[in-house]
Amino acid sequence: MAFTLQLGEQAPDFKLPATDGKTYSLKDFADAKVLVVFFTCNHCPFVVGSEEVTRATALKFMEHGVEFVGINANSVRTKPDDSFAHMVERMSEKNFPWTYLHDESQDVARAYGGLRTPHFYVFDQDRKLLYSGRGVDNPRETDKMTVNDLDNALSDHLAGRPVAVPLTNPIGCNVKWDGEDEHWMPAEACDLVPQTK
């Protein structure tokens, strides 16, 4: 079993600084009908390749009370480009429609079990996990993607349906854990569902 939050579990709290100069905790998003927490970063080609699709998904569902929170937990010793200063630069340049938080201690990433960048967690109004995994099936080259699992999960939930596919394997670079080789995490840790050919 992967060391990540399981479906139906409660969203762990956090208290993290954001690129806007404020500090946020879970309760600051209490008004959100649905909360999407995702582990992300500045440099990963899977994040960069899919960030405009993520932006479009966030904007699409914003009017339905869905809020997005991105968390960068990567070790700056492993990836200097993932420093907080670079996060501020990136947000200033891109103006993403989400709150961008820095998890320097990596405690929040451990609490959630963030596996890859990006790795999405969708929580209902009671902050119970209803979807975990990838955003799309080809985040590095979204012109070749065939499914937007994040959009599908949000659409299902907001329509009052059970999420048809609540669990997918996150696709991306592994979270860069401090003191570990950047590819330290075993690949099977990200096998949340059996691979089908």
Closest by CA to 175, choosing from 31, 47, 86, 59, is 47
Residues 8-19: tens digit of each pLDDT: 999 999 999 999
What percent of the chain has pLDDT above 70?
92
* HEC profile of 119-171: EEEEECCCCEEEEEECCECCCCCHHHCCCEHHHHHHHHHHCCCCCCCCECCCC
Q: What pLDDT is attached to residue 192?
A: 73
pLDDT tens by residue, 126-146: 999 999 999 999 999 999 999
pTM of the model: 0.93
pLDDT at 181: 61
Percent pLDDT > 90 in the chain is 82
pLDDT of residue 193: 77
Q: How confident is the model at residue 180 (pLDDT cuts 50, 70, 90)?
A: confident
pLDDT computed for residue 197 by the predictor: 38
Which domains does the chain possess?
9-174 (3.40.30.10)
As a whole number of angstroms, the distance between CA 159 and CA 15 comes to 31
Q: What is the mean pLDDT of residues 51-57?
A: 98
Buried b / exposed e along 159-172 (16+ C-beta atoms within 10 A): eeeebeebbbbbbb
Mean pLDDT for 107-131 is: 96
For residues 32-41, give the mean pLDDT: 98
Q: For residues 77-100, give the mean pLDDT.
A: 95
pLDDT in the model for residue 129: 98
Position 187 scores a pLDDT of: 63
Report pLDDT for 2: 53
> Which residues sit opposite 69 in a β-bridge?
37, 99
Angle formed at CA 138 by CA 133 and CA 142, multiple of 5 degrees: 125
